[in-house]
Structure 1
Amino acid sequence: METPVKRVLYHHRTQGKAVEGVHIRGVTDALRAEGVTVDIISVPGADPYSSPKAMSPTRQARPWMGVINKLPEPLFELVEVLYNLVAGWRLLAYLRQHRDLAFIYERYSLFMFLPTWLARMRGMPMILEVNDSATVERVRPLFFKRLAMAIERWTFRNADGLVFVSGVFRDRALAAHPGMAPAIVTPNAANIDKFTFTQAQRDDARRRYGLEGHVVCGYLGAFVPWHAIDRFVYQIADRLQQEPHLKLLLVGDGSTYPALHAFVEDRGLSERVVLTGRVSHDEVPGLLAAMDMAVLPSAGDYTSPVKLFEFMACGVPPVAPDFEPIREVLDEGRTGWMFPAGDMEAAVASVLKYSRDAESLQRIGANARAYITQHRQWRNNILQLIDFHRAIGRGTSAQTDTRTA
């Protein structure tokens, strides 16, 4: 496919680490592989290619970011509003230097509007990637919610295009902001070449963590309340004694990690529940290689969990909650299994059931990897983005999604 763009600016206000960094690098690397020059403007000190790559949602990329995050909510949100001045000044300087820019691709942040206004004033296409919104329940409840909604409504209407990670998220935004810009749905992705391992690598990882001779159910990601890996372990703990074939390999850290670690130690489960703690993202494929299946106990009801795609890319069949965004990409009984969202006993029952079925684990894992290979690599996402940009330029309808099973 001939690439219709030569240069893209990726603008974001995140810390550029953990899952955020994975997403940003995935899109950026895929664009660059297609011959597109991609420049990145980020919060000073938060370049996703230089910030810490460790999978820790609780450790700030820079000390001053931790200070800001501890501000009372009203002050924190005022800082977010004021950051428009920083972003606007840096974007204006960039636009003056680069005349060959095809479009700006911005990871949308609450209270951010000046880049969209500047792009509009300069006649530069602006496409917003929407991962957050004033319309959804957030970890930090909004103090200036009416202001956030007003800014978001204006921004969504004045951008040239919007990219949502799930259909339900797009529909929720459309209901709150009628008349918003054309939108597409692009779930997250994973690159097969980064999640391919040899039998020797699998054997080494299993030997290193004492997993040989067992079926291994893994988890990868943040240990935070909304992912509920702690609740899953508490629920399955009493069942492990009756399931000697099964071990858990849990990768990552976060706010619920210390209590979970103490629970595992107190119950004498450290041989059955292996906690790796924080690891670099480069170590992830090797740890996934040790898994036979994976569990995602919970997720946001509008989000597209990156870890789900990484499990599938590695041929590790997932057990996940049946939230709509997960139903959009997971084919029950073919590329994974789902349980009723919020039902932790059902999650445990599913893990125990399928852990006893070696043939299904191999078959579903192979199907999952094939699905990622064909439909959900980062290249698929950016080819859709390039087509979207071209459709916007023609003024044609671009209200599409990518639900493919």
Structure 2
Amino acid sequence: MSMTFDLDPATAELAARMSKFVGEVVIPEEARSGISLHHGDEQLRQRLVSSAKEFGVYGPHVPEEFGGHGLSLLQLAVVFEQAGRSLLGPLAIQAQAPDEGNINLLDKVANSEQRQRFLAPLAAGDVRSCIVMTEPNGAGSDPNALTTTARRSDRGWVINGRKWFISGAHGAAFGIVLARSSGEWGDRGGATMFLVDMNTPGLEEVRVIDSLDEGYFGGHSELLFTDVEVSDDAVLGEVDLGLKYAQVRLGPARMTHCMRWLGIAQRSQEIAIERAIEREVFGAKLSELGMVQQLIADNEIDLEASRALLYRTCAELDSGATATRSTSITKTFVSEALGRVVDRSIQICGALGISYDTPLSRFYRELRPFRIYDGPSEVHRWAIARRAVGRFEANRTNG
């Protein structure tokens, strides 16, 4: 099947404007912001959001109904890469995880009242949100291990359980909470999504977890639910179909992660090339040395291969396919390839690369967890292999 990825003029213009915005506004803010953003400087976020709106680059993924550009995934791949050149770029356009994925989920599943109460302010950048799924000894890579429960009451539902590594929870206005509403631990299905205000009585933020990546706005929190009461209006979609809705956001969100990190990796390559051109050792520029040229070339290969996989998978998702195999392959390859790009870039820069005089060491810390977030590489490989074996056996039987 032939496939082309030619950009329409409007998307190409938006990507160029995004590049200008990130270079002129966001990267200077990044340099001033300090290392850790776990406790979230809300004034910084609002300043960036306002600037993005003034530049006309805010909300490429936001539905046009809410003032966004409403781009397809394939269009977003080019625009988000430019936004991702800075750790703060996605934050400025409300495209950071988990808000970007939650906007997509709410747009597809929320009812009219929920769209106005939750989606409208989130899409406008007035508030942040979180997706409350992962548990310390339960649901994570295996959603059937969900232990947080939601039981019916006279006034709706009562939620009990402990969640952890809930990204962006600190300072978020609301969370999309996944809890077991039927069945027992290990059973397939039986989970429901609830829209829960973060100031609801009984919902406690136990801590913001110290982690390798410090540039994640709002950090990663541990949350405790103790008899948290919500009404029937809080149910997102239908009861017991929460895992089905999780799939709505999961594949596209994995791809938007890849888009954003592509920007960081491309910027790392450019920093390394600039250093290689300027630095002289043993009577020659670094860029003229064969070993350095190999590092640069391998970076180019990983970047281009990552884009090719990403674009193909985005086109598949845009066509309406679930693309579970493609998203697993792309997420696994891109997360590892981009890590190699940043690692090689540091190697080219030497001592400068591990200093804070460049952002490379920070990028390295921020990118490393991507091999774990949204499914560890090992889990994706297990799923990829299982599908390959299943396909082979089916073909052999039918042949």
By the TM > 0.5 criterion, same fold? no
Shorter-chain TM-score category? Answer: under 0.3
| TM-score, structure 1 normalization | 0.26
| TM-score, structure 2 normalization | 0.26
